[in-house]
Amino acid sequence: MSVFETGSESATAAGARDWRRVAYLVHVSRALDHLEETVLVPAKKVAYQFSARGHDLGQVLLGLRLTDRHDGVCGYYRSRPMLLSLGVPLEEALGSSMARAGGYSDGRDIGVVFNYPNPDGPSALPMCGGVGSQYTPTAGWAQAIEYRSSRLGDPAFASAMGVVLGGDASVATNGFWSALTIATTQRLPMLFYIEDNGYGISVPSVYQTPGGDIAANLASFSGLHVLHGDGTEPAEAVRLIDEAVAHVRGRRGPCLLRLRVPRLEGHSFQDTQTYKSPEVVAAEWARDPLPKLEAFCVPALMSLAEWQAIADRAAADVAAALHSADARPVAEPDTVTSFVFSDATPQKKGGLRGEGVTLPTGDTTPRPEGTRLNMVTAIRRVLDHELTVNPRMVVFGEDVGPKGGVHAVTLGLQEKHGIARVFDTSLSEEGIVGRAVGMALAGLLPVPEIQFRKYADPAVEQINDCGTLRWRTHNRFAAPMVLRMPVGFFKSGDPWHSQTNEVQFVHAPGWKVAVPSNAEDAVGLLRSALRGDDPVMFLEHRAMLDASWARRPYPGDAYVLPFGQAKITMPGRDLTIVTWGAMVERAEEAAKQVVAAGTHSVEVIDLRTLMPWDRETVLASVARTRRCLVVHEDLRTAGFGAEVVATVAEEAFMHLDAPVVRLTMPDVPSPHNAVLLDAVVPSVARIRAKIDALLEF
């Protein structure tokens, strides 16, 4: 349903509202902007400054309507008035802008990138620096609210909602459209609050949306309640905001509210707005909501003296906050490497641990049972068991439901555990991973699937943002998840389905990366990931999913394999092979040929995880064998093998009797024809040849 509203109301008809609180917060926002622009930026105490003038009234009115302690709101760089209305202390806001210790990030992130794990009320979800990246995590939060209310039966979530703020330029992003699809198809309790100031930095909104009006374009969007109006008129803005919030809280589906507001200063402090004519600038200042708020309140709701007293108190409070914020030190430099991954200190919000929920630690000793299983069956069995014991776990992705996944890993799981827990998604990897972030922030354990490694590319922004989330919020928030992804060749290759490129995820701070080569390791690593407290990239090699060599007996429902523990799959004395994934089988076969020749023996190490990776086992082996060959399927240049080679050369150089050597694919995409594929992927024969050459060196 679409509704387009305009009009005006008197102060009396605007309903019960603490307009003195509204006036105070708007004045505080203005005072903060003025202080930064005139003092802190020129003094180089604030590096990034984005004025909220013109946007402030609407945000304050909305923020004061977010009263449920499970409401979650995700803003963007011009959303400080919203944060203030949620109760963020002024010294926190200023100290964060000044990059001092404490605050939003302990000085790790720019001060306009907000978060607020509110213990007593609505939380501000960790925003990101990328435009549009706030939408899909908010959709995930809204879906988690629905799940915890309807599936887990928690009445505390019955009226909670997710709210996302965005400017008119952000509605052109993939994140906006993906979240819109998620929210409307799932009828989620989500409010899209669009502040349309007519510009994306210097680009007019007509370049972002046909006609420059996203509300008009979405008038017939199924399942979406649409409202729009003037965000500078107090009575009109409050009426529309109240209607939007009531619609979402009443579980009548998502709502999009577009309010027209002026951007009274440049995009940022450095932006001089030379792209605007003097007439445009004057017209925008004529729409300043602060004088309109004064006219609305005085004399109908307060005297002029009261209004001035509120402004004076706001200025005094900001001055006092500056004194406190400026006294804060810079964080100790030796702490900057903390909280990349979880440690003994739990995050304030996000994941199971953030809510005090613990899972069994498991058993590190495998207890084999039954016949040998392929990796597909082994992974499915772990997912099935963990879904059974952990009601907060959900599995989702494209085709994971009735079809059971394109590789059959989730076959039968939806039938057993229900559509709320194992479900299909729209075709948007941005939406899959972004939704998982929001779910994790809301206390669920999301297990999303990306069908093939190459398909993860549209989700790279969300992947990177998720990995840095704990670090950049200084352990205030975390978003643990297990992202499953098939990689590598299978019978044939191609540039779209056969990529490995695991090094990209190793190079993304905050992600753990597992690359099991067989069913037993897949069981242990997956269960370890599902019971952990970090984002994990779980890479399932397509060639090994049903390979005979990779089959192993099931090691038990309690078996966990800690990350960072390599395995010596074949002991040897004359050369060390370091490898992982599908190359382990080929390395072992080449090593067996050397042993069969009767002159040498070769040690094969399966790293099993690349982040973290077991440097100690590799270095100890090389110290014994004095030779090292690294074999991997990924491309040669800047592949993970280069990291292993560099570490061996740097830390075991004096032990070496030969150069450290790599055998990899050349720097070409995976070819489709099987003959061409065999020509580029390391083969047993080429591994054997490298071994012989190193032994003869």
List the Cα angle 459/465/468 in 5-degree steps: 140
d(CA 201, CA 207): 12
422-424 and 393-397 as β-strands: parallel, antiparallel, unpaired? parallel
DSSP 2: B
Sheet holding 72-74, edge to edge: 123-124, 72-74, 162-167, 190-196, 255-260, 225-230
Q: What are the CA-CA distances from residue 287 to residues 222, 232, 308, 618 (Å)?
A: 33, 7, 21, 67
Helix (H) or strand (E) holding 30: helix 19-35
Angle at which helix 640-651 crosses helix 615-625, to 10 degrees, equals 60
**Residue 308 neighbours by CB under 8 Å, 6+ apart:** none
The token duo for 602 is 């070769």
Contact 395, 447 (CB under 8 A): yes
β-pairing verdict for 567-570 and 602-606: antiparallel
DSSP label at 252?
S
In whole angstroms, give the CA distance from residue 165 to residue 643.
Answer: 41
Rounded distance between C-alpha atoms, residue 690 and residue 694, angstroms: 6
CA distance 438 to 461: 14
Residues 6+ apart with CB under 8 A from 158: 149
Pairwise CA distance, residues 22 & 24, whole Å: 5
Closest CA to 31 of 290, 263, 296: 290
Distance between CA 648 and CA 49 in Å, rounded? 46
Three-class secondary structure of residue 509 per DSSP: coil
Cβ 244 vs Cβ 31: under 8 Å:
no
HSE-CB for 122 with a 13 A CA cutoff: 26
Rounded CA gap, 235 and 301, in Å? 13
**Alpha carbons within 13 A on the beta-carbon side of 636:** 11
- Exposed/middle/buried for 182, CB within 10 Å: 0-12, 13-18, 19+? buried
497 is catalytic: yes
- Find the catalytic residue in 225, 497, 541, 632: 497
Residue 35 has φ and ψ, to the nearest 5°, of -60, -45
Query: What phi and psi values does residue 398 have, to the nearest 5 degrees?
Result: -75, 125
Distance CA 624, CA 435 (A): 48
Task: Tokens for 54, please give them.
Answer: 């013109």
Decide: 82 and 73 in contact? Cβ < 8 Å: yes
Q: Dihedral sign, CA of 371, 377, 383, 389? A: negative
* DSSP state letter for 349: B
What token pair was written down for 209?
A: 């949306």
Beta strands in 249-310 (DSSP E): 255-260
In the numeric block, the tokens 């597909």 are attached to 376
Q: Return the residue matching tokens 């960072």.
A: 564
Distance CA 399, CA 425 (A): 8
State the catalytic residues: 497
